[in-house]
Amino acid sequence: MTHRIFFRTLAMALVLFAVAMNKAAAEFKGDVNVSGSEVEVLVRHQDGRPASDVTLRLFHGAQWTTIASARTDPRGRWRYLATEPGLYEIYVETPSGSAGPLRLPFEINEESDAATTESFFSGPLSRWIAACALLLAAAGLLRTTRLPSTAFFHGFRWLMASACMAAGVGLLVLGGWHPESGGPPSPATGKNLAANAREFLRSRNIAPLSGSLMSILLDPKHELISTQSHALLSQKAPDFTLRDHKEQPMRLSERSSRGPVVLVFYLGYNCNHCVGQLFSLHDDMDRFRELGAEILAVSPDSPEKTRKRFAQYGPFAFPVLSDPENKVAQQYGIYLPPTEKEAGELQHGTFIIGRDGHVHWVQFGSEPFTDGRTLLRELARIEGRLPKLTSCAD
Protein backbone atom coordinates (compact mmCIF):
# COMPACT_ATOMS: atom_id res chain seq x y z
CA MET A 1 0.00 0.00 0.00
CA THR A 2 2.82 2.34 0.92
CA HIS A 3 4.59 1.62 -2.37
CA ARG A 4 1.41 2.36 -4.33
CA ILE A 5 0.98 5.76 -2.65
CA PHE A 6 4.64 6.54 -3.30
CA PHE A 7 4.43 5.77 -7.02
CA ARG A 8 1.17 7.73 -7.37
CA THR A 9 2.76 10.73 -5.69
CA LEU A 10 5.84 10.42 -7.93
CA ALA A 11 3.70 10.20 -11.06
CA MET A 12 1.71 13.27 -10.05
CA ALA A 13 4.92 15.21 -9.39
CA LEU A 14 6.26 14.28 -12.84
CA VAL A 15 3.05 15.44 -14.50
CA LEU A 16 3.13 18.77 -12.67
CA PHE A 17 6.80 19.21 -13.61
CA ALA A 18 6.06 18.52 -17.29
CA VAL A 19 3.22 21.03 -17.24
CA ALA A 20 5.46 23.67 -15.70
CA MET A 21 8.26 23.06 -18.21
CA ASN A 22 5.88 23.28 -21.17
CA LYS A 23 3.94 26.31 -20.06
CA ALA A 24 4.64 28.03 -23.40
CA ALA A 25 2.90 25.29 -25.32
CA ALA A 26 -0.09 25.60 -22.97
CA GLU A 27 -0.34 29.36 -23.52
CA PHE A 28 -0.92 29.49 -27.28
CA LYS A 29 -1.34 27.40 -30.36
CA GLY A 30 -0.97 28.70 -33.88
CA ASP A 31 -1.42 27.95 -37.55
CA VAL A 32 0.20 29.40 -40.68
CA ASN A 33 -1.73 29.37 -43.96
CA VAL A 34 0.28 30.08 -47.12
CA SER A 35 -1.45 30.90 -50.41
CA GLY A 36 1.11 31.78 -53.07
CA SER A 37 3.05 34.64 -51.45
CA GLU A 38 0.28 35.59 -48.98
CA VAL A 39 0.85 34.42 -45.42
CA GLU A 40 -1.83 34.39 -42.72
CA VAL A 41 -0.98 33.60 -39.10
CA LEU A 42 -3.69 32.64 -36.62
CA VAL A 43 -2.86 32.49 -32.91
CA ARG A 44 -5.33 31.08 -30.39
CA HIS A 45 -5.47 30.20 -26.72
CA GLN A 46 -5.67 26.53 -25.89
CA ASP A 47 -9.44 26.85 -25.35
CA GLY A 48 -9.84 28.19 -28.90
CA ARG A 49 -10.22 31.89 -28.09
CA PRO A 50 -8.37 34.29 -30.44
CA ALA A 51 -5.12 35.55 -28.92
CA SER A 52 -5.16 39.27 -29.67
CA ASP A 53 -2.32 41.78 -29.25
CA VAL A 54 0.33 39.04 -29.20
CA THR A 55 3.78 39.98 -30.47
CA LEU A 56 5.04 38.11 -33.53
CA ARG A 57 8.47 38.13 -35.14
CA LEU A 58 9.12 36.86 -38.67
CA PHE A 59 12.51 35.38 -39.60
CA HIS A 60 13.81 34.52 -43.06
CA GLY A 61 16.92 33.14 -44.71
CA ALA A 62 20.10 31.39 -43.73
CA GLN A 63 21.13 34.20 -41.39
CA TRP A 64 17.71 34.01 -39.76
CA THR A 65 17.31 37.73 -39.14
CA THR A 66 14.07 39.48 -38.25
CA ILE A 67 12.35 40.95 -41.32
CA ALA A 68 9.06 41.97 -39.68
CA SER A 69 7.44 42.29 -36.29
CA ALA A 70 3.81 42.95 -35.49
CA ARG A 71 0.93 42.18 -33.16
CA THR A 72 -2.12 40.05 -33.81
CA ASP A 73 -5.45 41.78 -34.42
CA PRO A 74 -8.57 41.23 -32.24
CA ARG A 75 -9.22 38.00 -34.14
CA GLY A 76 -5.74 36.70 -33.38
CA ARG A 77 -4.58 37.13 -36.98
CA TRP A 78 -1.68 38.69 -38.80
CA ARG A 79 -1.16 38.83 -42.55
CA TYR A 80 2.04 39.34 -44.49
CA LEU A 81 2.94 39.43 -48.17
CA ALA A 82 6.25 37.60 -48.71
CA THR A 83 8.34 38.80 -51.64
CA GLU A 84 11.06 36.14 -51.62
CA PRO A 85 10.93 32.33 -51.68
CA GLY A 86 12.63 30.30 -48.98
CA LEU A 87 12.29 29.08 -45.42
CA TYR A 88 10.55 31.28 -42.85
CA GLU A 89 9.72 30.96 -39.19
CA ILE A 90 7.38 32.93 -36.95
CA TYR A 91 8.15 33.37 -33.26
CA VAL A 92 5.06 33.95 -31.12
CA GLU A 93 6.19 35.60 -27.91
CA THR A 94 4.80 34.00 -24.77
CA PRO A 95 4.41 35.46 -21.27
CA SER A 96 7.47 35.78 -19.08
CA GLY A 97 8.24 32.60 -17.22
CA SER A 98 7.29 30.41 -20.16
CA ALA A 99 9.67 27.84 -21.58
CA GLY A 100 10.14 29.84 -24.80
CA PRO A 101 8.36 31.25 -27.85
CA LEU A 102 5.91 29.28 -29.95
CA ARG A 103 7.70 28.60 -33.26
CA LEU A 104 5.77 28.23 -36.53
CA PRO A 105 7.98 27.30 -39.52
CA PHE A 106 6.76 27.49 -43.12
CA GLU A 107 8.11 27.78 -46.67
CA ILE A 108 7.43 29.96 -49.72
CA ASN A 109 8.13 28.01 -52.91
CA GLU A 110 9.84 29.31 -56.06
CA GLU A 111 6.99 28.11 -58.29
CA SER A 112 4.21 30.44 -59.31
CA ASP A 113 0.72 30.11 -57.92
CA ALA A 114 -0.46 28.57 -61.18
CA ALA A 115 2.17 25.85 -60.99
CA THR A 116 1.39 24.94 -57.39
CA THR A 117 -2.36 24.74 -57.95
CA GLU A 118 -2.31 22.74 -61.17
CA SER A 119 -5.17 20.24 -61.19
CA PHE A 120 -5.25 16.74 -62.61
CA PHE A 121 -7.24 17.89 -65.63
CA SER A 122 -4.64 20.51 -66.57
CA GLY A 123 -1.59 18.35 -65.85
CA PRO A 124 0.53 16.25 -68.24
CA LEU A 125 -0.87 12.91 -66.98
CA SER A 126 -4.38 13.83 -68.07
CA ARG A 127 -3.07 14.77 -71.52
CA TRP A 128 -1.33 11.39 -71.87
CA ILE A 129 -4.53 9.55 -70.95
CA ALA A 130 -6.64 11.59 -73.36
CA ALA A 131 -4.08 11.02 -76.13
CA CYS A 132 -4.20 7.24 -75.65
CA ALA A 133 -8.02 7.30 -75.71
CA LEU A 134 -8.05 9.25 -78.98
CA LEU A 135 -5.53 6.92 -80.62
CA LEU A 136 -7.56 3.88 -79.56
CA ALA A 137 -10.67 5.52 -80.99
CA ALA A 138 -8.86 6.11 -84.29
CA ALA A 139 -7.78 2.48 -84.41
CA GLY A 140 -11.32 1.37 -83.63
CA LEU A 141 -12.79 3.49 -86.41
CA LEU A 142 -10.34 2.06 -88.92
CA ARG A 143 -11.14 -1.52 -87.94
CA THR A 144 -14.90 -1.24 -87.47
CA THR A 145 -17.26 -3.14 -89.82
CA ARG A 146 -20.49 -1.98 -88.26
CA LEU A 147 -20.85 1.15 -90.42
CA PRO A 148 -22.34 0.76 -93.90
CA SER A 149 -19.71 0.20 -96.60
CA THR A 150 -20.93 3.02 -98.80
CA ALA A 151 -18.52 5.66 -100.10
CA PHE A 152 -20.03 8.29 -97.79
CA PHE A 153 -19.59 6.30 -94.58
CA HIS A 154 -16.18 5.06 -95.71
CA GLY A 155 -14.97 8.66 -96.15
CA PHE A 156 -16.59 9.71 -92.87
CA ARG A 157 -14.85 6.89 -91.03
CA TRP A 158 -11.44 7.87 -92.43
CA LEU A 159 -12.05 11.55 -91.63
CA MET A 160 -12.96 10.83 -87.99
CA ALA A 161 -10.06 8.42 -87.58
CA SER A 162 -7.62 10.98 -88.98
CA ALA A 163 -8.99 13.69 -86.64
CA CYS A 164 -8.69 11.42 -83.60
CA MET A 165 -5.16 10.41 -84.57
CA ALA A 166 -4.04 14.01 -85.09
CA ALA A 167 -5.53 15.09 -81.77
CA GLY A 168 -3.95 12.12 -80.00
CA VAL A 169 -0.49 12.80 -81.42
CA GLY A 170 -0.86 16.49 -80.50
CA LEU A 171 -1.73 15.64 -76.89
CA LEU A 172 1.20 13.22 -76.70
CA VAL A 173 3.53 16.03 -77.67
CA LEU A 174 1.92 18.39 -75.16
CA GLY A 175 2.01 15.74 -72.45
CA GLY A 176 5.80 15.54 -72.65
CA TRP A 177 6.33 19.30 -72.93
CA HIS A 178 7.16 21.32 -69.84
CA PRO A 179 6.94 25.11 -70.22
CA GLU A 180 9.55 25.72 -67.56
CA SER A 181 12.25 24.03 -69.65
CA GLY A 182 11.76 26.30 -72.64
CA GLY A 183 12.94 29.52 -71.05
CA PRO A 184 13.05 31.50 -67.84
CA PRO A 185 10.07 31.01 -65.53
CA SER A 186 7.46 33.71 -65.52
CA PRO A 187 7.19 35.76 -62.35
CA ALA A 188 4.75 34.42 -59.79
CA THR A 189 1.40 36.08 -59.39
CA GLY A 190 1.31 38.53 -56.49
CA LYS A 191 5.09 38.83 -56.22
CA ASN A 192 5.60 42.18 -57.95
CA LEU A 193 7.89 43.72 -55.38
CA ALA A 194 7.73 47.20 -56.87
CA ALA A 195 3.91 47.23 -56.76
CA ASN A 196 3.92 46.00 -53.16
CA ALA A 197 6.46 48.65 -52.16
CA ARG A 198 4.43 51.41 -53.81
CA GLU A 199 1.30 50.15 -52.08
CA PHE A 200 3.12 50.42 -48.75
CA LEU A 201 3.93 54.07 -49.49
CA ARG A 202 0.32 54.79 -50.46
CA SER A 203 -0.90 53.23 -47.23
CA ARG A 204 1.33 55.68 -45.34
CA ASN A 205 0.25 58.65 -47.52
CA ILE A 206 3.85 59.10 -48.66
CA ALA A 207 4.22 60.87 -52.00
CA PRO A 208 7.12 62.62 -53.76
CA LEU A 209 7.74 66.07 -52.28
CA SER A 210 6.45 69.00 -54.31
CA GLY A 211 7.37 72.67 -54.32
CA SER A 212 10.73 74.34 -53.95
CA LEU A 213 13.33 73.19 -51.44
CA MET A 214 12.80 76.44 -49.52
CA SER A 215 9.06 75.81 -49.15
CA ILE A 216 9.72 72.25 -48.00
CA LEU A 217 12.18 73.41 -45.33
CA LEU A 218 9.84 76.17 -44.11
CA ASP A 219 6.63 74.12 -44.11
CA PRO A 220 4.99 75.03 -40.76
CA LYS A 221 2.38 72.27 -40.99
CA HIS A 222 4.87 69.43 -40.91
CA GLU A 223 5.91 68.09 -37.53
CA LEU A 224 9.59 67.14 -37.67
CA ILE A 225 10.90 64.02 -35.97
CA SER A 226 13.74 64.40 -33.48
CA THR A 227 16.71 62.08 -33.29
CA GLN A 228 16.63 59.02 -31.09
CA SER A 229 19.22 58.36 -28.43
CA HIS A 230 22.02 56.20 -29.77
CA ALA A 231 25.54 55.30 -28.71
CA LEU A 232 26.95 56.81 -31.93
CA LEU A 233 25.09 60.11 -31.72
CA SER A 234 27.63 63.00 -31.89
CA GLN A 235 30.37 60.39 -32.25
CA LYS A 236 32.64 59.60 -35.18
CA ALA A 237 30.79 57.36 -37.62
CA PRO A 238 32.50 53.95 -38.01
CA ASP A 239 34.23 53.96 -41.38
CA PHE A 240 33.74 51.06 -43.77
CA THR A 241 34.29 49.91 -47.33
CA LEU A 242 31.55 47.85 -49.02
CA ARG A 243 30.87 46.74 -52.59
CA ASP A 244 28.02 48.09 -54.69
CA HIS A 245 25.91 46.09 -57.17
CA LYS A 246 28.72 46.35 -59.75
CA GLU A 247 31.23 44.88 -57.28
CA GLN A 248 32.93 48.29 -56.99
CA PRO A 249 34.26 49.19 -53.51
CA MET A 250 32.88 52.31 -51.86
CA ARG A 251 34.23 53.94 -48.69
CA LEU A 252 32.08 56.00 -46.34
CA SER A 253 34.77 58.51 -45.32
CA GLU A 254 35.46 59.40 -48.96
CA ARG A 255 31.78 60.14 -49.53
CA SER A 256 31.22 62.12 -46.34
CA SER A 257 34.27 64.30 -47.04
CA ARG A 258 32.40 65.66 -50.11
CA GLY A 259 29.14 66.34 -48.29
CA PRO A 260 26.69 64.95 -45.73
CA VAL A 261 25.54 61.36 -46.11
CA VAL A 262 22.20 59.73 -45.32
CA LEU A 263 23.16 56.17 -44.42
CA VAL A 264 20.22 53.76 -44.64
CA PHE A 265 20.30 50.19 -43.36
CA TYR A 266 17.49 48.08 -44.79
CA LEU A 267 16.66 44.40 -44.45
CA GLY A 268 16.98 43.48 -48.12
CA TYR A 269 14.76 42.88 -51.11
CA ASN A 270 12.73 40.34 -49.13
CA CYS A 271 11.16 43.29 -47.28
CA ASN A 272 8.70 45.34 -49.34
CA HIS A 273 8.58 48.06 -46.66
CA CYS A 274 12.34 48.49 -47.05
CA VAL A 275 12.06 48.78 -50.81
CA GLY A 276 9.27 51.31 -50.30
CA GLN A 277 11.68 53.41 -48.23
CA LEU A 278 14.26 53.26 -51.04
CA PHE A 279 11.62 54.27 -53.59
CA SER A 280 10.69 57.26 -51.45
CA LEU A 281 14.32 58.40 -51.22
CA HIS A 282 14.78 57.82 -54.95
CA ASP A 283 11.73 59.97 -55.74
CA ASP A 284 13.15 62.91 -53.76
CA MET A 285 16.80 62.50 -54.74
CA ASP A 286 16.94 65.87 -56.49
CA ARG A 287 16.11 67.60 -53.18
CA PHE A 288 18.98 65.84 -51.41
CA ARG A 289 21.35 66.81 -54.20
CA GLU A 290 20.35 70.47 -53.81
CA LEU A 291 21.81 70.24 -50.31
CA GLY A 292 24.94 68.48 -51.56
CA ALA A 293 23.93 65.32 -49.73
CA GLU A 294 24.36 61.71 -50.81
CA ILE A 295 22.41 58.59 -49.88
CA LEU A 296 24.03 55.20 -49.23
CA ALA A 297 21.81 52.14 -48.75
CA VAL A 298 23.20 49.01 -47.06
CA SER A 299 21.68 45.52 -46.73
CA PRO A 300 22.77 41.88 -46.41
CA ASP A 301 21.81 41.24 -50.06
CA SER A 302 24.67 40.16 -52.32
CA PRO A 303 25.69 42.36 -55.28
CA GLU A 304 24.39 39.65 -57.61
CA LYS A 305 20.95 39.70 -56.00
CA THR A 306 20.81 43.48 -56.18
CA ARG A 307 21.72 43.37 -59.88
CA LYS A 308 18.89 40.94 -60.52
CA ARG A 309 16.39 43.15 -58.71
CA PHE A 310 17.64 46.21 -60.58
CA ALA A 311 17.04 44.32 -63.83
CA GLN A 312 13.49 43.55 -62.69
CA TYR A 313 12.45 46.82 -61.08
CA GLY A 314 15.04 49.41 -62.12
CA PRO A 315 18.05 50.89 -60.29
CA PHE A 316 18.01 53.61 -57.65
CA ALA A 317 19.59 57.04 -57.96
CA PHE A 318 22.06 56.21 -55.16
CA PRO A 319 24.51 53.39 -54.37
CA VAL A 320 23.18 50.16 -52.87
CA LEU A 321 25.90 48.34 -50.91
CA SER A 322 26.29 44.76 -49.73
CA ASP A 323 26.95 43.89 -46.08
CA PRO A 324 26.48 40.09 -46.31
CA GLU A 325 27.48 39.24 -42.74
CA ASN A 326 25.92 42.38 -41.17
CA LYS A 327 29.32 43.40 -39.81
CA VAL A 328 28.81 47.09 -40.61
CA ALA A 329 25.24 46.96 -39.29
CA GLN A 330 26.64 45.54 -36.05
CA GLN A 331 29.13 48.43 -35.85
CA TYR A 332 26.19 50.82 -36.06
CA GLY A 333 24.33 49.01 -33.31
CA ILE A 334 21.36 47.80 -35.33
CA TYR A 335 22.32 44.13 -35.67
CA LEU A 336 22.37 41.66 -32.81
CA PRO A 337 24.27 38.51 -33.81
CA PRO A 338 22.66 35.12 -33.12
CA THR A 339 23.29 33.24 -29.90
CA GLU A 340 22.55 29.69 -28.82
CA LYS A 341 19.08 30.74 -27.65
CA GLU A 342 18.21 33.67 -29.93
CA ALA A 343 18.27 34.25 -33.66
CA GLY A 344 20.11 37.26 -35.04
CA GLU A 345 18.06 40.43 -35.41
CA LEU A 346 18.61 43.18 -37.97
CA GLN A 347 16.74 46.46 -37.53
CA HIS A 348 16.04 49.33 -39.88
CA GLY A 349 18.36 52.26 -39.36
CA THR A 350 18.77 55.77 -40.82
CA PHE A 351 21.82 57.86 -39.90
CA ILE A 352 22.76 61.40 -40.98
CA ILE A 353 26.54 61.83 -41.12
CA GLY A 354 28.05 65.29 -41.60
CA ARG A 355 31.13 66.41 -43.49
CA ASP A 356 32.98 66.16 -40.20
CA GLY A 357 32.37 62.41 -40.21
CA HIS A 358 30.18 62.55 -37.09
CA VAL A 359 26.69 61.12 -36.61
CA HIS A 360 24.24 64.01 -36.19
CA TRP A 361 20.83 62.30 -36.28
CA VAL A 362 19.53 58.70 -35.90
CA GLN A 363 16.32 56.74 -36.26
CA PHE A 364 16.14 52.95 -35.94
CA GLY A 365 13.59 50.26 -35.16
CA SER A 366 11.25 47.67 -36.62
CA GLU A 367 9.93 49.95 -39.40
CA PRO A 368 11.83 51.99 -42.03
CA PHE A 369 12.02 55.76 -41.70
CA THR A 370 10.12 57.47 -44.53
CA ASP A 371 9.86 61.15 -43.53
CA GLY A 372 11.89 62.89 -46.24
CA ARG A 373 11.06 66.39 -44.95
CA THR A 374 12.75 65.67 -41.62
CA LEU A 375 15.86 64.33 -43.36
CA LEU A 376 16.12 67.40 -45.59
CA ARG A 377 15.69 69.80 -42.68
CA GLU A 378 18.34 68.02 -40.61
CA LEU A 379 20.73 68.06 -43.57
CA ALA A 380 20.10 71.78 -44.10
CA ARG A 381 20.68 72.40 -40.39
CA ILE A 382 24.08 70.72 -40.21
CA GLU A 383 25.10 72.38 -43.48
CA GLY A 384 24.17 75.81 -42.14
CA ARG A 385 21.59 76.27 -44.89
CA LEU A 386 18.43 76.18 -42.82
CA PRO A 387 16.42 79.33 -43.59
CA LYS A 388 15.29 81.47 -40.68
CA LEU A 389 11.60 81.99 -40.07
CA THR A 390 10.54 85.64 -40.21
CA SER A 391 7.51 87.07 -38.47
CA CYS A 392 5.03 89.54 -39.94
CA ALA A 393 6.38 92.27 -37.65
CA ASP A 394 9.77 91.96 -39.30
Burial 255-284 (b: 16+ CB within 10 A, else e): bbeebbbbbbbbbbbbbbbbbbbbbbbbbb
The CATH number of whichever domain residue 356 belongs to comes to: 3.40.30.10
Same domain? For 148 and 244 the reply is no
149 and 231 part of one domain: no
Q: pLDDT (tens digit, 0 to 9) for every residue of the chain, 394 residues total? A: 554 554 455 455 544 444 444 444 447 889 999 887 788 999 998 888 999 988 887 876 544 456 777 888 999 998 887 767 776 778 788 765 455 678 788 877 754 333 333 444 445 556 667 767 767 776 776 666 555 666 666 676 667 777 777 776 666 655 544 433 333 333 333 457 888 888 889 988 998 998 899 999 998 888 999 999 999 999 999 999 999 999 999 999 999 999 999 999 999 998 889 999 999 999 999 999 999 999 999 999 999 999 999 988 889 999 999 999 999 999 999 999 988 777 788 999 999 999 999 999 999 998 999 999 999 999 999 999 988 754 443 3
156 shares its domain with 214: no
The count of domains in the chain is: 3
38: phi then psi, degrees, rounded to nearest 5: -90, 130
Do 33 and 107 fall into the same domain?
yes
Q: Are 147 and 125 members of one domain?
A: yes
Cα–chain center distance at 220: 36
pTM of the model: 0.58
Residue 135 CB-density burial (10 A; 0-12 exposed, 13-18 middle, 19+ buried): middle
167 and 237 housed in the same domain: no
Residues annotated catalytic, as ranges: 274
Supply the Cα-derived Rg of the chain in whole angstroms.
Answer: 31
Residues 141 and 103 both lie in one domain: no
Q: Which domain holds residue 317?
A: 193-382
Domain assignment of residue 387, yes or no: no
CATH number, domain with residue 79 = 2.60.40.10
Between CA 56 and CA 102 the distance in angstroms is 10
**187: in domain:** no
Final residue belonging to a domain, choices 112, 127, 157: 112
Q: Which amino acid is at 158?
A: W
Residues 77 and 102 in one domain: yes
Residue 321, strand partner residues = 244, 298
In the sheet that holds 38-45, the strands lie side by side as 28-35, 38-45, 77-81
Burial label for 62, CB within 10 Å (0-12, 13-18, 19+), is exposed
Residue 100 lies in a domain: yes
The reply to whether 148 and 197 lie within a common domain is no
Same domain, 209 and 287: yes
